[in-house]
Structure 1
């Protein structure tokens, strides 16, 4: 019935499904949480900020290529749906000037890039001494995720709600039939999915405050050392991690802005911490008093809409993007896997792994989709799929 199955319907899984379809591959999406579940804590996509602000560590990092492809690809999205995707200024303010060796790898292709130095006559946000400035994309995370889901369905690609026991099960589901290729975009699920069980996968807890601040239509980041936070709370002598703050306006008429600056490795809690929310509000107000409105006097005047918590699907060593060839029935007790009685035990199959992107899912989704589709075509071509 299908050439391939995509596991996961977050921004990565849906983007891959659309790319596969555009290349003539008949595909279905199978997921526990689907795009309409915009209040589900089971996946990260609805809770993202979100904007394009690359975390890639230079051109040698594979994520740099994914991010570059996505930056250019979002131009098409903005033209089709300006209510979901919009280009705005971003100020990345710094305490220390970056040297030539630390120059941002993307400075030559983002719009209007500048290195700035603050002065009394030309102060930078938060009165910080230095800043990188450019124009970037912002996305309405929950609405964009739903949009991708609607687009997938409109093209005749089914989204099947199903919780898998193992990756082997995906090759012979009753609703999709026998397939030889699966794309694994299960995010945090790859830590526990039988047959994958990647111990390098971990949650990086994020917490944001959604506020109403129509005067703020630019991104401001102060995130030096953002990823330095750890879960080593047992070591009382450990140096306190740096506190980060950022604000990302959302497209649309609501005047909403996402405030953040929280990154906790290994923390599975999805309950909002009001003490942390207060810290975020205070630090963001220092960067941009306009958050409190024209008559606001302090951070306490910022209009809070909601508190949001999501678990970034991170991975030690970075995202996993590779093709693995395997045989069904090589992991665990095969007779315990649903559908195994009617499957071809030992059958050769392929899996394209596309998970572990952490908080970068939206900003490298289109690039990830291209690379995953390249690997899928390579495998399916090797299997002599005639239609390709």
Structure 2
């Protein structure tokens, strides 16, 4: 639907997906969009457990459930992270992943995605494990990366509105008819009226941030290698110097955001078994984190369709005639990335931008 002037875009959600979508729209199609990001939690709300982005490991690591579509997203994201490395926003990270079962490690799907992939010699594999691989990937620190994205968007004229939105109709009214509405609400898509996606669910992640300057590489075991709900990984960050994230847990449908002390002790023990340097005197625990990864049964939802508003729902918090827009909006969904939000972000954002551009032409 071609029109004169920039297209109004409202993005619901200021996590890594919403911010990256906004950045991609503005940099791939300059002057084509006027963007407003509307969210209850903003990128500088780094202690808020109400959204997932501040708590992420925020590196690239092998994930279960990848497919041809998500692999395209991951390749685009890795390529973007190499571009950000000279700025200090991302760090090239030597990595090792160990396995507890015998399998042909030379044919893993990501061997051509990461840099310098190789199968470890048996002499390089700790006792009790069956094999391992080494490669180079990236890591970032959400506490620096999210505010950077926000500053880039503010410099490009994006408006940030702190507001809890109850329904798609309420969001559409903020932009007007023939606008674009991007639903990047993460776990909020479960309760957003007009979406109410019951397939959205949390995956609880508990981690520990430590100062451990002796740790210089990402080390992990694949999911499923330990007890149910456990995930073992060590992720050095580009800054502050010496900051390392230790994990963790992978607990589907667990909404608990409190720190479990026994779990924290288990994380420290498992990570120290992989990296004995953690027992050095200079290691200090800085803080304990818990975040809820916004997952979705069936995988991420990224799709677009023209939608009539106002939406008909007896759950709407206000009468439909009160400030509601009558007409159509282009509704684009971008949520349900689970633990892979950061490593899918740039590729998924490009797909969203392509969906918007093609839909607006029709």
**Do Structure 1 and Structure 2 share a fold, with TM-score over 0.5?**
yes
Shift of 1:373: 0.3
| Matching residue of 1:357 | 337
| Matching residue of 1:50 | 58
Report SS of the residue matched to 1:283. Answer: helix
| Matching residue of 1:385 | none
Report SS of the residue matched to 1:106. Answer: helix
From 76, 82, 86, give the equivalent of 1:75: 82
Deviation sequence 1:238-262 (CA, Å, 0-9, x none): xx52643110001124311100020
Deviation sequence 1:49-78 (CA, Å, 0-9, x none): 1211142645x4421111111011111111
- Give the 5 Å matches for 1:265-276: 265-276=252-263
From 99, 109, 115, give the equivalent of 1:111: 115
Deviation sequence 1:71-109 (CA, Å, 0-9, x none): 111111112x21x21101110101223237x93222113
Q: Is contact 2:310-2:320 (8 Å) kept?
A: no
Q: Is contact 2:178-2:330 (8 Å) kept?
A: no
**176-185 or 188-197: bigger deviation:** 176-185
Given the alignment of the two structures, is residue 20 of structure 1 paired with residue 28 of structure 2, yes or no?
no
Given the alignment of the two structures, is residue 288 of structure 1 paired with residue 275 of structure 2, yes or no?
yes
| Matching residue of 2:212 | 213
Report SS of the residue matched to 1:364. Answer: helix
**Using the alignment, how far apart are the partners of 2:96 and 2:243 within structure 1?**
18
From 322, 327, 345, give the equivalent of 1:341: 322
| Matching residue of 2:3 | none
| Matching residue of 1:170 | 171
Deviation sequence 1:254-281 (CA, Å, 0-9, x none): 3111000201111111100010000000
Q: Is contact 1:250-1:257 (8 Å) kept?
A: yes
Q: Is contact 1:268-1:311 (8 Å) kept?
A: yes
| Matching residue of 1:244 | 231
Q: TM-score, normalised by structure 1?
A: 0.86
| Matching residue of 1:323 | 304
What do you get for the CA RMSD once the two structures are aligned? Answer: 2.1
Aligned residues: 354
**Using the alignment, how far apart are the partners of 2:215 and 2:74 within structure 1?**
25
Shift of 1:363: 0.6
Q: Is contact 2:177-2:325 (8 Å) kept?
A: no
Deviation sequence 1:212-260 (CA, Å, 0-9, x none): 100001000012416x9xxxxxxxxxxx526431100011243111000
Report SS of the residue matched to 1:214. Answer: coil
| Matching residue of 1:4 | 9
From 371, 377, 380, give the equivalent of 2:357: 377
Shift of 1:178: 4.7
**Using the alignment, how far apart are the partners of 2:60 and 2:195 within structure 1?**
30
**Using the alignment, how far apart are the partners of 2:315 and 2:323 within structure 1?**
11
Shift of 1:327: 1.1
**353-362 or 61-70: bigger deviation:** 61-70
Report SS of the residue matched to 1:50. Answer: coil
Report SS of the residue matched to 1:66. Answer: helix
Q: Is contact 1:126-1:287 (8 Å) kept?
A: no
**Using the alignment, how far apart are the partners of 2:206 and 2:153 within structure 1?**
29
**Using the alignment, how far apart are the partners of 2:252 and 2:348 within structure 1?**
23
| Matching residue of 2:104 | 99
| Matching residue of 1:236 | none
| Matching residue of 2:147 | 146
Q: Is contact 1:45-1:142 (8 Å) kept?
A: no
Report SS of the residue matched to 2:54. Answer: helix
**Using the alignment, how far apart are the partners of 2:312 and 2:203 within structure 1?**
28
**Using the alignment, how far apart are the partners of 1:323 and 1:344 within structure 2?**
19
**Using the alignment, how far apart are the partners of 1:333 and 1:244 within structure 2?**
42
Q: TM-score, normalised by structure 2?
A: 0.92
Q: Is contact 2:97-2:221 (8 Å) kept?
A: yes
**Using the alignment, how far apart are the partners of 1:10 and 1:243 within structure 2?**
25
In structure 1, the gaps of 5 or more residues are: 229-239, 383-388
Given the alignment of the two structures, is residue 30 of structure 1 paired with residue 62 of structure 2, yes or no?
no
